[in-house]
Amino acid sequence: MNVTSDPAAAGLFDAVFAREPAGGGHYPGGPVADDRAWLRSLLAAEAALARAAERAGLVPAGAGAAVTRAADPAQFGPSELAELARASALTGNPVPGLARVLARKVGGTAPAAVGAVHFGATSQDIMDTAAMLLARDALGAAAADLTAAADSVARLAAEHRHTLMLGRTLLQQAVPVTFGLVAAGWLAGLDSAVEWLGLVRDTRLAVQFGGAAGTLASLGADGARVRSLLAAELGLTDPPLPWHTERLRVIDVGTVAARGCAALSKIARDVTLLAQTEVGEVAEGPGDAGGGSGAPRRGGSSAMPNKSNPVAAVAILGCAKQAPGLLATLVACAEQEYQRAAGAWHAEWQPYSQLLRLSVSAAAWSRDLLSNLQVDRARMAANLAGAGALPLAERVSALLGDSLGPLRAHDLVAAAAIRSAASGVPFRDALLATPEIEDRLAQAGIGPGQLEEALDPAGYLGAADGFITAALAARKPG
């Protein structure tokens, strides 16, 4: 545990990969899952254990309050933090050192309460419980910003329900869609991410309390009662038994954090592509980092003054691309020996912390990105018009399918599309210059006016409008 003596100190990359919740007030006490957050959660677990032991009548009255007063993170100055760091190297984790420092502090003011410190616990009990407290706050913070991002996307879906644009598949132009439908797809992913974050936060975060080997032997018949009281003190689930080497709860936390990153990576990648100079259909707004004259410019380049890079989208992708590897490490760590693991448990701490930080950071960036996203309707219309009706080739092929057969119709329309693209001749003219197509259209009673109608992108949107309505209606209140 590398606990900095300056809680305000920021790492070089923290503004990108450890961005605090954009809405403010979601996460108590500072950055997510950093060393200070771990210290705060470890102390909260120790204090709650002392209170639980007192409620069970196993330590003197007032001991819980005495330990809680001593377990104030503000009372841990540079010397104590350095002591914890040294102790971690001696014992393989920071809890034994923390228990010693805490007992010393309690002994200075309430000697009779010293026995309540770390009562009946093993180091993993405190570390795992602290990890659950970290997850509760971090998942809540991520969910709050993802919900705000989803609210912005829902507004975009409704506002741009009829905004036509090119669909693109395999990075090539496809049939027309609407930007409202694109936003509805984003919305579905965000809403699912929020739902699963809440599910794990509400049902899978459990207190850990098993003692030396998961039997709570030192507490005799009182062990399970103390565990239940500890869970109540912290507002965590009281599990049926200790889970020292059953690590699915940790994996569940990592999974929903990674799911949130995955949902955001799709949105961020779309934004980077749509914001390309040659496409120019969306742009990032100034966000919350805009500055006045002389201030650093959001999206600026160190070399090219003309650049306006999609910083928020890029930052989201930078966070999200790290998530799969971190989750894979947590899954690999689930193979643990006997009643307590030799190394696999220890290997969880850093990827777990980093995954929580990245998921919260990506969510905060998404709130910024999507609340300020600028949509260029005119550019979308121009790009669609520039495609020269070629995106409607599928519709023309369907019109001819009954008389020519699907395969023959497809091949003839494909040939006309190739000629149109190569020569610059309008697709309509290329179709009518194909004798077999012209004859079949005439036989089907389809004249030039009906062909023009078939080449109108607004008439070939299928169920897009209904899909938008469904995505908006599927949102859960609150």
**3-state DSSP assignment of residue 176:** strand
The CA distance from 389 to 425, in Å, is 11
**Contact at 8 Å (CB) between 129 and 239?**
no
Active site residue 301: yes
Q: Given phi > 0 = left and psi -120 to 50 = alpha, else beta, which region is 412?
A: alpha
Residue 166: strand pairing partners: 176
Q: Count other Cβ atoms within 10 Å, centred on residue 385.
A: 12
| Pairing relationship of beta strands 164-169 and 172-178 according to DSSP bridges | antiparallel
**3-state DSSP assignment of residue 164:** strand
Task: Take residue 163 and report the two structure tokens written for it.
Answer: 């905004």
For the chain, the 3-state helix, strand and coil shares in percent, each to the nearest 5, are: 65, 5, 30
In the set 168, 340, 408, 419, the catalytic residue is 340
477 — phi, psi (to 5°)? Answer: -65, 145
In the set 5, 79, 218, 301, the catalytic residue is 301
Task: Take residue 394 and report the two structure tokens written for it.
Answer: 């599928």
**Contact at 8 Å (CB) between 388 and 427?**
yes
**3-state DSSP assignment of residue 43:** helix
The CA distance from 66 to 72, in Å, is 11
**Contact at 8 Å (CB) between 231 and 241?**
no
The CA distance from 27 to 9, in Å, is 18
Q: How does DSSP classify residue 172?
A: E
Residue 2: strand pairing partners: none
Which is nearest to 41 in space by CA: 29, 53, 52, 50? Answer: 29
| Pairing relationship of beta strands 282-283 and 374-375 according to DSSP bridges | antiparallel
Which residues carry out catalysis?
Answer: 301, 340
